[in-house]
């Protein structure tokens, strides 16, 4: 069968070989990005769900409108505006099937084959694949401890052809854990205006801060209507319910709504109502504070174990939040080989090249997730990674 060129350009990833081992329950996985199940508010959700089935099934089980369930949209609009200063008169908020759909819809309405999308190097593979599926010319912009290098970003905006989108994860970035500084955020908003380009601000980890100072979203500085904000309840409530949202300039938002109609008609109405009720009846900020306590402990434990088991043989960035840590083996060694050795010892880590625009590039970095493993698994897994490193560096 001859498949479409769009999909043919999406190659099965080489890291599958490593991630395959995570199917084995005896494997300690630092590979996935899954939130910890103990953070899911299952009890509150079961109370709301029972009420929805008992009293509002005629609405909850019916078709809805593409923009989303109105009380949920209103609650998101209010929360984002009042709490974070995100969204103004020129913006539209609508509900999506996860934050992933915001990225996919933006690519769908803006990117023609061969158009350029600028992204951080490294970046989130789900977004890179969305851009690849529209045959975008992906260009990675280097990062440092303060996030993406905005001078290099401006250079690329000047020199690359047909730049349609800039894709950034400014807060607790996946995979690097870096957070874009305030100055650079303002500069990104200015560059978007100056070069008349849309920027996706993908911010699913924004609420998961464990240390450091609050930095406002780039969208707060969006005077020109160029920032498409992607939010999600995946990391603060549950990823399985697939509830995300965008706050985007009306011109592009309206096109994305038309595109969404074709994709999935609307996001699962039952879970939209469930999240809408949750926001009305419970205190999301209190829940976020509780899960941040859980993750802060896990993050600190991973830092402690990295220091103990890796010593100065690898460098790493201390994240202020999010779910990931990014490690680099000095001397230009290939982290793919290291991760392969670790997977043979039943510990899964993701090699840095899988987050690259060009996966065939050699990366000496690797990503570890700290949200899922229990403290015992983390102790054991990090000790095995330390031993693997000793063998690898021989």
Ligand X SMILES: Cc1ncc(COP(=O)(O)O)c(C=O)c1O
Interface contacts to ligand X, rule CB under 6 A: 33, 98-100, 124, 126, 169, 174, 202, 204, 232, 234, 239, 244
The nearest distance, CB 354 to ligand X, in angstroms, is 13
The nearest distance, CB 350 to ligand X, in angstroms, is 12
Is residue 299 exposed (0-12), middle (13-18) or buried (19+ Cβ within 10 Å)? buried
The nearest distance, CB 102 to ligand X, in angstroms, is 8
Measured CA to CA, the distance from residue 237 to residue 94 in angstroms comes to: 18
Coil vs helix vs strand at 202: strand
Residue nearest to ligand X (CB): 98
- Tokens 């045959």 belong to which residue? 135
What is the phi/psi pair of residue 241, to 5°?
-80, -15
User: Do residues 368 and 349 make contact, with C-beta atoms less than 8 angstroms apart?
Assistant: yes
The nearest distance, CB 304 to ligand X, in angstroms, is 24
Measured CA to CA, the distance from residue 105 to residue 252 in angstroms comes to: 10
Measured CA to CA, the distance from residue 309 to residue 389 in angstroms comes to: 9
Measured CA to CA, the distance from residue 363 to residue 354 in angstroms comes to: 9
The nearest distance, CB 206 to ligand X, in angstroms, is 11
The nearest distance, CB 332 to ligand X, in angstroms, is 27
Identify each DSSP E strand in 212-322 by its residue range: 227-232, 243-249, 315-316
Both ends of the chain: CA-CA distance in Å?
Answer: 47
């Amino acid at each position: 069968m001859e498949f479409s060129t769009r999909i043919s350009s999406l190659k099965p990833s080489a890291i599958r070989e490593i991630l395959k081992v995570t199917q084995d329950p005896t494997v300690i996985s630092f590979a996935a990005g899954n939130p910890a199940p103990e953070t899911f508010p299952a009890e509150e959700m079961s109370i709301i769900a029972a009420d929805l089935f008992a009293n509002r099934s005629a609405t909850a089980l019916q078709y809805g409108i593409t923009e989303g369930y109105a009380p949920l949209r209103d609650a998101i609009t209010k929360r984002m505006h009042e709490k974070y200063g995100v969204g103004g008169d020129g913006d539209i908020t609508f509900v999506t099937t996860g934050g992933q759909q915001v990225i996919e819809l933006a690519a769908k309405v803006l990117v023609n084959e061969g158009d350029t999308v600028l992204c951080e190097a490294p970046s989130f593979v789900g977004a890179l694949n969305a851009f690849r599926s529209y045959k975008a010319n992906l260009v990675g912009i280097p990062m440092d401890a303060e996030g993406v290098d905005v001078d290099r970003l401006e250079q690329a905006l000047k020199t690359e052809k047909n730049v349609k989108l800039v894709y950034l994860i400014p807060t607790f970035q996946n995979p690097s854990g870096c957070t874009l500084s305030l100055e650079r955020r303002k500069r990104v908003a200015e560059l978007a205006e100056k070069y008349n380009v849309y920027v996706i601000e993908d911010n699913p980890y924004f609420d998961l801060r464990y240390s450091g100072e609050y930095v406002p979203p780039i969208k707060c500085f969006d005077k020109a209507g160029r920032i498409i904000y992607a939010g999600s309840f995946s990391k603060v409530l549950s990823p399985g319910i697939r509830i995300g949202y965008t706050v985007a300039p009306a011109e592009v938002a309206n096109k994305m709504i038309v595109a969404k109609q074709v994709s999935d008609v609307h996001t699962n109405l039952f879970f939209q109502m469930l999240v809408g009720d949750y926001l009305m009846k419970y205190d999301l900020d209190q829940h976020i504070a509780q899960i941040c306590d859980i993750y802060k402990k896990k993050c600190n434990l991973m830092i402690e174990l990295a220091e103990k088991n890796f010593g100065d043989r690898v460098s790493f960035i201390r994240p202020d939040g999010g779910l990931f840590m990014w490690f680099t083996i000095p001397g230009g060694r290939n982290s793919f080989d290291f991760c392969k050795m670790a997977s043979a010892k039943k510990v899964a880590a993701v090699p840095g090249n899988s987050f690259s625009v060009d996966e065939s590039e050699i990366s000496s970095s690797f990503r570890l997730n700290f949200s899922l493993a229990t403290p015992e698994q983390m102790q054991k897994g990090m000790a095995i990674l330390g031993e693997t490193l000793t063998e690898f560096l021989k």
